[in-house]
Chain A
Amino acid sequence: MKRGIFVTVVLAILGFTSYFVAIHQVQTPQGFSLETFYRYLGQPVKTLDRSITRVIGVNAQDERELGDYLSSNIENLQVSGMIEQKVYVNNIIDQLSKQYNPKNLHFRVFIMSGPANAFALPGGIIVITTGMLDLLKSEAQLVAVLSHEKGHIDLGHCIDYMRVQAKTYRSQFGAFFDWYLNMMLRHSFSKFQENEADRFGFESLLALKYDPSSMAEAFTLMSNHYQQNQQKMPHLIGDYLSTHPSLILRAENWDEKAKRWKMQHPQIPYYVGVENYQIKKARSEYGYDFTKEWHKSNNK
């Protein structure tokens, strides 16, 4: 009898789940892939190899000094003009650093010309390209991108790769800078680190009351821009070696998480900031907090 009840209950739940899937036409973000599996499996491994480099003690002060040095060099590579944009992105990063800055770093954003991209350097340096600024549509999306890069810095992903150089750069200024910049242009963080930075960005959006869906929107825009192919077969080695997780997968995941947050917090408003982004003026603290940009999930 007990067995019968158990089986009936489980089958009923499975039946309900099937009904739900049918009604909402739920699909997985992409086909068969081992990417996510490796992301979970690789977490301890990747963390361990980072930890090994930590025997070289680099404290926040060292990282700050490195950031100052890098910013003085990267200043010359920035696009000329675009003053309004430069002020705007730095105002945004100021907002983020005021909310959370455990290492007390001086965060700066530099704009360089190029296709849609953004990357972070140790010591609080973030570089965003003109292509990325053209691609994004709202301030919330810009916050998502910048907070993702800020996450790489706060989580120590950047400094972990260059602890030795961080200690020795003073003796080889020019060579070090060239090496580092080249490496950053080519280098990618691991899937696990990217996921960590995504999570950091998402939490930053929530903490600053920006639209949590903007993270997924930014990924969707990038995915469309790069026209990633969704259909693929699982590959034991290829899936392990791939650095960035698929943009489609990331977009779907963070969109669902945003949905859940909105379901859990229907009364909490969030800011989108399309207009802010168009006029390149940061919100409230700088006097450009538009009422119509605030939304609630139950109103939407």
Chain B
Amino acid sequence: MGLWSLIMFGATVLGVLAYFRTLKLQKRIDDLELLLKNEQQHPQSSQVPQAESNEVSISTDALWVADQRREEPSSLDVVGNTAITNAYSSKTIITTVIPNQDQVQESFQKGLHWLTENWAGFLGVSILVLGVTFATVYLSLFATPFIRFLILISIGLAFLVVALLIKQNPLWRELSAWLQSGSGAIVLFTVIATGMFPALHFYSEPMTSLYLLFVGLFYNLILAYLSPKEVLACLHVIISLIALILVPKEVVVFFAAIVVTLAGIGLSARNVWNMNLLLSFVAFSLFHFVWFQGQSAIAPIALYGLTGSGIVGISALLVHYQKAYQSEQTKFNLFAHVTIWLLLGFQLQMYQLGFAYLYIPLGIATLACLSLSFYAKRKQIEWLFVCDAIVGLLLAMLATLSLVRIDFSHELIALMAFFESLLFATIAYCGRQWLLSKVGSAFVVVSAIALYVTMLPLIPNSNQIIIICLPVIISLYATRWYLSRKPVDSSVHEGSYERFFPTQLDILTFIFAGFILFSTVSHYQFGYVIFIASMMAMVINRQLMSQNGHKITYLLFAMVVTIFSWTKLSSLGSPVLGLLYYGVPPLLLGAVLLKEKILILSENVSIEDVGVYFAGLHLAIVFFSASWPYSAFYPGIIFLSLGLLLFEASLSLAECKESPRLTLLAASCKNVAVLYLLGYCALYLLLYLQSEATLFSFLTLTQLLTLIAMTISFYWYFSKPMSFVDREPSLLPVSCGWCQTISQRITFDIGFILSLFLLISTFSAPIHPIGYALIGIILCASFSRDWLPSRARLYSLGLLYATCIQVAIVSSKWASPSLDWYQSTHITGPLSMVLALMQAAILLNEPENKDNHLLQIFYKKPVLFGFLPVFVALAMFLMWRFDKALLTMLWVVEILFIVGIGYYLKSKNLVQIALAFLAFCVARLITYDLSQSDLLVRALVFVVVGLLMIMIHIIYKKYADRLT
């Protein structure tokens, strides 16, 4: 039975091989026929010049390159390949250049032709497949485990035999290699399967399984050795390791894997097989990890594991280095290099046994790595040098971290790591090894963060903080100083790493200085003063201060230090002490910076104005904090005083026209003065507005301060503005323009708003419209036209409307038990209306303002937009104050007045609106007043209204022509 099966299976295999052979020959014959046909139809197609078509060139080259990889072809192959190449080229031309329906038809005909020619072979293969299927089912059902084992082994060996038989033929050489690999796989997995599956388990001794495994492995290694191709050899090694993953995780298996991997590495050493080396090591690492996971305890296997990993890893590295020094495949070598190092490190790391002196092997490895790096540098292999240097740095870091095992404190380890990184980054920077320096600087940052974090628990003990931070700052500052002495490559682009690294050191210096600041200030009374003194001392280092990067970082830190001082102003209990300890030192520092011209970055760039703004802000905060506890009014008084002084200082500085520096300072002083005024306004809105604190019987404190602020605002506005016309353009700082245009101009608006608030908060509502109208008249009067801004007219218009709204809505419902005249809206209302009419008349005579869009709209119909709101407000005022027929009568009087004004001003619209209002009044008189009023009142009102209407009629008739 078994023999029959064996014969049947062999026949099947031979049938399959014969079929494929037939197919291959058939294809070649078809190609040759096609070629001859093309030759007959297009005699020139085989000689298509390459220059005529890129498509042809590319396709042909591609095939030729593919052919080059093979061994020297035979003459028949050359003919065949040429034919195929030409045919392919022709097809490409047809496909890419002339796509048409003929191509589809041709393909269809080719398919039909193939079927008619190969129908027998196709049928044969189908029957063959059926036969193999039947045979497999049969074997699985009836054969014994040993027979099955033999069959599978036979298949494997048969593959090998076939491979050896066809190996000599160049055409079949590739298939031969694959069959050989298949043979190895079948044999190896068969022997493993004998131990795993009962269907193949034919022996009783456990050792048999092990022997079989070794045989299988040996068989594979032999095949790997015999493989002509790297990929196939590699495949044998990988298959062997995968097979070992499947078997029980015994120590002997681990050793077997080591042997297999070493064999694989040995193959790489024999040839230039980097891929094989890498894959073998990766496969071993994977195996090692799986094997490790299968162990119940680490300690018993640690020695084996470490030894095995070491042997394999070092072997791999040795081979790799040997290849790296020879090969030019930079990218792949780099990848392999990093991968091998990482995997080796990972494998060694798995055996964490708490070895106290781990830093010793790690330190040795670091030295070895750095030595290799220098060797690579000498051999001018740049990538290897960089890579090994980085690996060396990593190992050094690991060695440092491992010091924790001998009870080094965390902050000390972080400090050592910081120094190592700084040293590495600086050396690399000085050697212009930018990549290495970048890596080093990244480690500097990481270790600095680690140091910062480890210091946090030490905050209560300021001495420790200072002891740790001081060497850090000194080392950073010294490095920075050293770097500043090296000339900067002017060709290096701004913002590149060459400029970045020193700035990074500056930033770190000031971050750690911040830690010291916090510690000293928190625990020493004069800490802040000493700290500021140290900062002043740093200014003396002109070498360093001449570099803008350092300068800007220093200035930013100075700002931070100043801001920090704001948080401590009230920490001493006494505001005056707070002012002395924390307010004055930053000002002194600022003065030193100004004197030493630290804020001038270059000939054209100066940020001294920023310094002035910041100093102004500091002063504001300091004085606010110092005076606030005594009275909320002090900050406002101080703001006004400081603003006044600064403004005067600005004017004095502006008189010195020969220095751009002084011009800039003058402009910034003026802006700060205006900012102080705005600060007062903020305090006014939030605090002083709520106070009625009496100063004199006729004046409150708030009113006095507001009056002063208002006066200062207008005084500033009318002060002579800084003129740059008569100055040399080179003497003008860039920022002077906007400084000048904004700050002084808005003082008018500030004064205007303050005057309105003063009016509203001081007087009762009936007075408000009178005040609005008076201010509005001043703003639009002809005498003020030359010295007020054009927007003053717009404000005047707004005030006109505010007057109208106030009279129409607020004053009309006013009620007061007081007998004072100004509390009676019967007096203030009409008075406001008279003033509003005056204002509207003045606005009417204003020349048209083309600067302002809103005023342009107003001046399209100035009579309508100016007078009508006043009349509407008056009508509403009358409506709320009077009732019934009396109201109608008063309205008609108003209409009479409107008509008169309308004719006087020749405004047809105004007259039309007045007449429409008259119609409404008549309707109201008839429908409402008739029923509501007494007979006498009714008669009186009707008479008066009638007379008024007659007057209106007369006016209308007499002056009708004025409107046309």
Task: Determine whether the beta carbon of A13 is less than 8 Å from that of B704.
Answer: yes
Closest A-chain residue to B768, C-beta based? A43
Cβ of B813: which chain A residues have Cβ within 8 Å of it? 47, 50, 155-156
Residue among A14, A48, A256, A257 making CB contact with B708, cutoff 8 Å:
A14
Whole-angstrom distance between the alpha carbons of A10 and B714 in the complex?
13
- Minimum CB–CB distance for A166 against chain B, Å: 16
**B690 contacts A256, CB within 8 Å?**
no
A47 touches B810 (CB 8 A): yes
Select which of A17, A37, A96, A99 is within 8 A of B701 by beta carbon: A17
Q: How far is the CB of B434 from chain A (nearest CB, A)?
A: 52
**Contact: B641 with A28, CB < 8 Å?**
no
The residue in chain A whose Cβ has the minimal distance to the Cβ of B880 is A54
A256 near B634 with CB under 8 A, answer: no
User: Does B697 lie within 8 Å of A252, measured CB to CB?
Assistant: no
Query: A20 an interface residue at 8 Å Cβ cutoff?
Result: yes
Interface string of B688-721 (1 = CB under 8 A from A): 1111111111101100110010011001000000
Q: Quote the shortest CB–CB distance from A183 to chain B (angstroms).
A: 21
Q: Which residues of B contact A3 (CB under 8 A)?
A: 648, 651
B687 and A154 contacting across the interface, CB-CB below 8 Å: no
Contact call A204/B640, Cβ cutoff below 8 A: no
Q: How far is the CB of A143 from chain B (nearest CB, A)?
A: 11
Verify A256–B694 contact, CB threshold 8 A: yes
Q: Which of B634, B637, B817, B819 contacts A200 (CB 8 A)?
A: B817
* Cβ–Cβ contact A10 & B711, under 8 A: yes
Q: Is the CB of B630 within 8 A of A22?
A: yes
A102 to B813, CA, bound (A): 11
Which single residue of chain B is at the shortest CB-CB distance from A156? B813
Interface of chain A, helix or strand or loop or mixed? helix
Residues of A within 8 A of B630 (CB): 21-22
Please state if B818 and A10 are interface contacts (CB–CB under 8 Å): no
- Stretch of A114-122, A127-135, A217-225, A258-266 on the interface side: A258-266
Which residues of A have CB within 8 Å of B695? 17, 20
Residue A238 CB within 8 A of the other chain: no
Choose one: A14, A37, A100, A259; the contact of B694 (CB below 8 Å): A259
Q: Is the CB of B692 within 8 A of A257?
A: yes
Q: Is the CB of B815 within 8 A of A155?
A: yes
A27 contacts B by Cβ under 8 Å: yes
Q: Mark B644-656, 1 if CB is under 8 A from A, else 0.
A: 1100100100000
Known contacts A11-B644, A48-B809; A256 and B692 CB within 8 A of each other:
yes
Which of B704, B816, B883 touches A17 (beta carbons < 8 Å)?
Answer: B704
Contacting residues of chain B (805-826) with chain A, CB-CB under 8 angstroms: 805-806, 808-810, 813-819, 823
Partner of A10, one of B697, B708, B765: B708
CB closest chain-A residue, reference B647: A7
Q: How far is the CA of A99 from the CA of B818 in the complex (A)?
A: 9
Judge whether B637 and A14 touch: CB under 8 Å: yes
Asked whether any CB of chain B lies closer than 8 Å to the CB of A291, the reply is no
- Minimum distance in angstroms from B439 CB to a CB of chain A: 50
Q: Which of B631, B761, B815 contacts A27 (CB 8 A)?
A: B631
Q: Is the CB of B690 within 8 A of A249?
A: yes
Cα–Cα distance between A49 and B764 once the two chains are bound (Å): 20
- On chain A, the residues within 8 Å of B818 by CB distance are 203, 206-207
Q: Please count how many residues in chain B sit with their CB below 8 Å of the partner chain's CB atoms.
A: 55
Of the candidates B691, B698, B806, B808, the one having the most CB atoms from chain A within 10 angstroms of its own CB is B691
Is B690 within 8 A of A36, CB to CB? yes
Chain B hits for A47, CB < 8 A = 809-810, 813
A30 within 8 Å of B by Cβ? yes
How many chain A residues sit at the interface, stated as a range, is: 35 or more
Question: Contacting A264 at CB < 8 Å: which of B698, B715, B817?
Answer: B698
Q: Is the Cβ of B760 less than 8 Å from the Cβ of A40?
A: yes
Also in contact, A37 and B715, with CB within 8 A (given A25-B631, A155-B815, A264-B698): no
Q: Determine if B692 and A253 form an interchain contact, defined as CB atoms under 8 angstroms apart.
A: yes
A35 CA to B686 CA in the complex, in Å? Answer: 8
Provide the residues of chain B in CB contact with A102, threshold 8 Å: 815
Given A14-B640, A20-B695, residue A203 in contact with residue B817 (CB < 8 A):
yes
Least CB distance from B721 to A in Å reads 14
Give complex CA distance A100, B805 in Å: 26
Once the chains are docked, how many angstroms separate the CA of A11 from the CA of B651? 17
**Is the CB–CB distance between A11 and B641 below 8 Å?**
yes
Mask of B618-653 contacts with A, CB within 8 angstroms, 1/0:
000000000000111110010011001100100100
Q: Could you tell me if B687 and A32 are in contact, using CB atoms closer than 8 angstroms?
A: yes
Chain B residue, CB-CB nearest to A153: B815
A26 at the interface (CB under 8 A from B): yes
Contact of B632 among A28, A100, A252, A264 (CB under 8 A): A28
CB under 8 Å from chain A, chain B span 781-819: 802, 805-806, 808-810, 813-819
Q: Which residues of B contact A37 (CB under 8 A)?
A: 685-686, 689
Asked if B757 lies at the interface with its beta carbon under 8 angstroms from chain A, I say yes
Q: B913-963: which have CB < 8 Å to A?
A: none
Indicate whether A74 reaches chain B with its CB closer than 8 angstroms: no
Q: Kindly report which residue of chain B lies nearest to residue A234, judged by CB atoms.
A: B686
A190 to B808, CA, bound (A): 20
Nearest CB on B from A70, distance (A): 20
CB distance from A289 to the nearest CB of B (A): 20
Q: Whose C-beta in chain A lies nearest to the C-beta of B761?
A: A40
Closest-by-CB residue of A relative to B640 is A14
The answer to whether A203 touches B823, judged by C-beta atoms less than 8 angstroms apart, is yes
CB-CB nearest in chain A for B695? A20
B707 to chain A, nearest CB (A): 9
Mark each residue of chain B from 662 to 698: 1 if its CB lies under 8 Å from any CB of chain A, else 0: 0000000000000000000000011111111111111
Q: Which of A17, A32, A249 touches B686 (beta carbons < 8 Å)?
A: A32
A86 at the B interface (CB under 8 A): no
What is the distance, in angstroms, from B603's C-beta to the closest C-beta of chain A? Answer: 34
List residues 42-75 of chain A with CB under 8 A from any CB of chain B.
43-44, 47-48, 50-51, 54, 59
Q: B805 to chain A: which residues have CB within 8 Å?
A: 44, 48
Contact between chains at B697 and A260 (CB < 8 Å): yes
Task: Check if B708 sits within 8 Å of A13, measured CB to CB.
Answer: yes
Give per-residue flags for A85-116: 1 if the beta carbon is below 8 A from chain B beta carbons, else 0: 00000000000100110100000000000000
- Once the chains are docked, how many angstroms separate the CA of A147 from the CA of B815? 12
Given contacts A40-B757, A200-B815, A207-B817, contact A26 B686 (CB under 8 A): no
Instruction: Output the nearest chain B residue to A11 by Cβ-Cβ distance.
Output: B641
Inter-subunit contact B708/A20 (CB<8 Å): no
Chain B, Cβ-Cβ closest to A255: B692
In the complex, what residue of chain B is closest to A25 when comparing beta carbons? B631
State which of B632, B694, B810 has its C-beta within 8 Å of the C-beta of A263.
Answer: B694
How far, in Å, is A17 (CB) from chain B's closest CB?
6
Contact status B883-A59, CB under 8 Å: yes
Contacts of A27 in B (CB 8 A): 631-632
For the complex, what is the distance from the CA of A21 to the CA of B636, rounded to whole Å? Answer: 12
B693, closest chain A residue (CB): A26
Q: Using Cβ atoms and an 8 Å threshold, which residues of chain B touch A154?
A: 815
Which of B633, B687, B700, B883 has a CB less than 8 Å from the CB of A21? B633
Q: Are A44 and B806 in contact (CB under 8 A)?
A: yes
Contacts of A44 in B (CB 8 A): 802, 805-806, 809-810
167-213 of chain A: CB within 8 A of chain B: 199-200, 203-204, 206-207
Task: Tell me, rounded to whole Å, the shortest Cβ–Cβ distance linking A5 to chain B.
Answer: 12
Which chain A residues border B883 with CB–CB below 8 Å? 59
> Smallest Cβ distance from A125 to chain B, in angstroms?
17
Among A17, A18, A40, A252, contact of B692 (Cβ-Cβ < 8 Å): A252
* 22 A-B pairs with C-beta separation under 8 A: A18-B634, A18-B637, A21-B631, A26-B633, A26-B693, A27-B632, A28-B691, A28-B693, A29-B690, A31-B687, A34-B686, A40-B689, A40-B760, A40-B761, A44-B809, A51-B809, A99-B817, A100-B815, A100-B817, A207-B819, A257-B692, A264-B697
The residues of B with any CB-CB pair to A shorter than 8 Å are 630-634, 637, 640-641, 644-645, 648, 651, 685-698, 700-701, 704-705, 708, 711-712, 715, 757, 760-761, 764-765, 802, 805-806, 808-810, 813-819, 823, 880, 883
